[in-house]
Amino acid sequence: MARGYGGGVRVLVVTTWFPTPSSPTTGIFVARDVAAIATRHQVVVLHLVAPGLADGVHDAGSDVNTDAGTAGPDGVHVERLVMDLRRPDHILRAARRMRALAAGADVVHSMAISALLPFAVRHPGRGWVHTEHWSGLGAPETLSTLLRAARLAVRPLLARPDVVVVVGEGLAESVRALRPGPVEVVPNIVTAPTTLTPRRDAGVSLGRRGPLELVAVGGLIPRKDPLTAVAATAELRSRGIDAGLTWVGAGPLEAQVRDHAGQLAVPLRLTGSLPPPRWRSWCRTPTSSCCPPTRRPSAWRRPRRWRPVDRSLSATVVVPAPSSPLRGVLWCRPGPGRPSGRTRSNRCGARLPG
């Protein structure tokens, strides 16, 4: 039996996305999935870590290089192996290590599409589940030229696992077009608040309730469209609401977002990447959260009474923290051109109480 497994069903998780000490927010969705599986099964994680995030895991040619013994979520054993996606020798080395660990497992569970590369030649010989989160699979127009090329290269690998799990029906549609096998939808894990925060001055109009802080969590990248979030905040301010925007995350659009906020006189706070405990408390105050859009808003989880939004529409939905009732909906349609770092003109509208 491979080191790290205990009794019961033994699950080997193979992933390229997982938190490290130097990047604690990378792959936190994978860490949550691992923690959930570990509540019922015995889990070992093989983290195929990018060289820039290796945290002292040194590359020594063909040797297996790990920081074995690392405690992951709930004490799960995490073994890290450097894998540069541009180096075939690294991918082959990862494949060998995966097969060695799979020999002691009952189920192999790959997570993130780049983790499929070591499986390209051979099935792991065990029940094989793959979980995919990458929205870019179904929205190539949101990707850079390099990522669009990578998408074409890895898409055929999705046909190989026995089962593929995705987090929403929108992504499921894209994956079903690529494989004949089963595709299951398991939503993202969201921790419910233990106590509900009462609405602030529920009987008072939004413009008279004082400052309203919008909180967004995600990368400052075109697919998350932070420029539209800035425009949405400006629209609220034009309606007499003292709104500001806090964005938790980093990315190449930081300078453009700052410039756009300056042009529209939007109070903006960019925090960079932060671990969840640092920002969750902000969402437990009686203020709103600003949920950034994807290019496929119709795939959002929404109340059944809502009609699907046109897929060409980029929208920002202004909702409160998870602990408070829905306050209103604000939408913004971007100007011509696909999302990019360029500042775009927006047309906005709203349905807001008061």
Residues belonging to the chain: 354
In whole angstroms, give the CA distance from residue 266 to residue 279.
Answer: 20
pTM score over 0.85: no
Instruction: Give pLDDT tens digits for 64-104.
Output: 444 444 445 567 899 999 999 889 999 999 999 999 999 99
Q: How far is CA 229 from the centre of its chain?
A: 17
Is the pLDDT assigned to residue 244 strictly greater than 50? Answer: yes
10-185 CATH fold: Rossmann fold (3.40.50)
State the alpha helices, DSSP H only, in the chain: 28-38, 88-102, 145-154, 169-176, 226-238, 254-263, 276-279
Residue 323: the pLDDT is 41
What average pLDDT score do residues 32-49 get?
Answer: 92
Residue 297: the pLDDT is 39
Is the pLDDT assigned to residue 282 strictly greater than 60? Answer: yes
CATH 3.40.50 fits 206-296+310-351, yes or no: yes
**Secondary structure (3-state) at 32:** helix
Instruction: Give pLDDT tens digits for 190-213.
Output: 777 777 767 667 677 777 777 888
Grade residue 60 by pLDDT with cuts at 50, 70 and 90: very low
Residue 250: the pLDDT is 87
Q: Which residue has the tokens 């080191």?
A: 3
Residue ranges covered by each domain of the chain: 10-185, 206-296+310-351
What average pLDDT score do residues 26-38 get?
Answer: 90
Q: Is 142 left (phi over 0), alpha (psi -120 to 50) or beta?
A: alpha
Q: Which residue has the tokens 């008072």?
A: 204
In whole angstroms, give the CA distance from residue 257 to residue 127.
Answer: 45
Residue 26: the pLDDT is 84
Mean per-residue pLDDT over the chain, rounded: 76
DSSP for 172-219? Answer: HHHHHTT-SS-EEE-PPP-PPPSSPPPPTTTTS-GGGS--EEEEEES-
Of 151, 102, 152, 155, whose CA–CA distance to 129 is shortest?
A: 102
Residue 6: the pLDDT is 55
Strand partners, 48: 81
In whole angstroms, give the CA distance from residue 212 to residue 243.
Answer: 5
Is the pLDDT assigned to residue 5 strictly greater than 80? Answer: no
DSSP letter at 162? S
Query: 10-185 with 206-296+310-351: one CATH topology?
Result: yes
Is the pLDDT assigned to residue 170 strictly greater than 90? Answer: no
Residue 4: the pLDDT is 52
